[in-house]
Amino acid sequence: MEHFIELPYGAPGEGFSVSYLITYLQASNKDFIIQGQRTCSLVDHPKPNSLDVWLRRNFTSRQDKKQATNELMHEIIKTGLFEEGWFTCPDSGRKCKGIRLSRSPRTRNSFRRCTISRVASIHPE
């Protein structure tokens, strides 16, 4: 199931698919991203590795408006693919609010590839 989320301060119809966020995190070898919502221009944003900056750079024509609002974070969490938490910010080194890929069995297998090379017997001989 595809989850599309409209941006709160984007132009009409601007938003993103949650699958793009998952792909971005996997390509970055991360399982979390900090929120980083700021009311500032994109060039002055102090957290370039945040969800707010990622959304501004990739999904809106209104790049000088914050996008990673609390409401947007709740919409992402409601998909069941992410959970909220506090993580070490890669930009400031401080603990910041963010989201990470869910650890639930239902979602783990939907975006991680696993290869079983050998199946061990669970019964001793």
What is the pLDDT, as a whole number, of residue 113? 40
pLDDT in tens, 17-76: 999 999 999 999 999 999 999 999 999 999 999 999 999 999 999 999 999 999 999 999
In degrees, rounded to 5, the angle at the alpha carbon of residue 102 between the alpha carbons of residues 109 and 86 is 155
Among 109, 111, 107, CA closest to 79: 107
Half-sphere exposure of 108 (CA within 13 A, CB side): 4
Q: How confident is the model at residue 103 (pLDDT cuts 50, 70, 90)?
A: confident
The residue to which tokens 């650890």 are assigned: 103
pTM of the full structure: 0.81
CA distance 109 to 84: 19
